[in-house]
Amino acid sequence: SGRVVVWLDKPGAAAAGAAADALPPPLDRFVAEGAAVVTADLLLWRDGATEPGKTEPGDPLTPRPRQRVVTNPREFAGYTFGYNSPLFCQSVHDVLTIVRFLRTTTVGSHPHPDAVVVAGFADAGPIVLAARAVCGEAIDRAAASTDGFRFGAVNDYRDPMFLPGGAKYLDLPGMIALGAPHPLWLADDGATTDVAGGYSAAPSGRLVRLKGERLAAEAAAAAADWLLRAD
């Protein structure tokens, strides 16, 4: 179909499943509809924690990856992030690199895709939203579930989602609004005024939201439906 779906979730590249001939839903539906599917391990997604005991029950990526910090007996975020990009930014770079590769690299006789769409869930949701905010038309459609994440709620600079200044300008909703007017499917049950304001001048239907009790149960399937639509 000329469409490539970049699907980013907690299992990373393992989201495609172990069996080469049996993709899990909704990835199987993308292939059935003629789309190509890309999954990926972003930086440190498979490396685990840099400290013992930093785990999340039920998380397939247990232990959860942690920020790499410089060796210093004095605890201070500036020793690391005054000189180095935080893991969140490096993960956004990974997404942009994947999109750039798909758009510009010739692989054998495969043509360049007509459309590149990107979806992110769990920690990858805000990462995809940041990529959506800076990449313009390189991403045709983006879908993301935030699990209610806000940068202002991060209380540890070793958290993989720590971003200096991330909460300063309207937090994640402000970042989401920067993606306007490009098409966005969003599962976020928080405040919507800033996001809606950013999309107020966009054509109708550019912002689609899923909220309430349907979030967890239906997010992936609903996002897949929307990503497969023709623009």
Domains along the chain with CATH numbers:
3-227 (3.40.50)
Residue scoring higher pLDDT (203 or 34)? 34
Torsion of the alpha carbons at 26, 30, 33 and 36, rounded to the nearest 10:
-160
Order of strands across the sheet that contains 115-120? 36-38, 3-8, 115-120, 141-145, 184-187, 207-210
Contact between residue 117 and residue 144 where contact means Cβ atoms under 8 Å apart? no
Nearest-CA neighbor of 7 among 86, 98, 97, 87? Answer: 98
Contact between residue 55 and residue 49 where contact means Cβ atoms under 8 Å apart? yes
Contact between residue 201 and residue 181 where contact means Cβ atoms under 8 Å apart? yes
- Tens digit of each residue's pLDDT (9 = 90 or more) over 132-151: 999 999 999 999 999 899 99
CA distance 144 to 138: 16
Task: Please give the DSSP secondary-structure letter assigned to residue 110.
Answer: B
Stretch 148-174: mean pLDDT: 94
pTM for this predicted structure: 0.88
- Tens digit of each residue's pLDDT (9 = 90 or more) over 62-72: 456 788 888 88
Stretch 35-50: mean pLDDT: 80
CA distance 105 to 87: 26
User: Is the N-terminal amide bond of 26 cis, ω within 30° of 0?
Assistant: yes
- Tens digit of each residue's pLDDT (9 = 90 or more) over 88-132: 999 999 999 999 999 999 888 888 899 999 999 989 999 999 999
Give the helix ranges, DSSP H, for 105-213: 124-135, 171-177, 193-198
SS3 184: strand
215 pLDDT band (50/70/90 cuts)? Answer: low
CA angle 209, 11, 17 (to 5 degrees): 105
Model confidence at 220: pLDDT above 80: yes
Q: Is the CA virtual torsion 101, 42, 132, 6 positive or negative?
A: positive
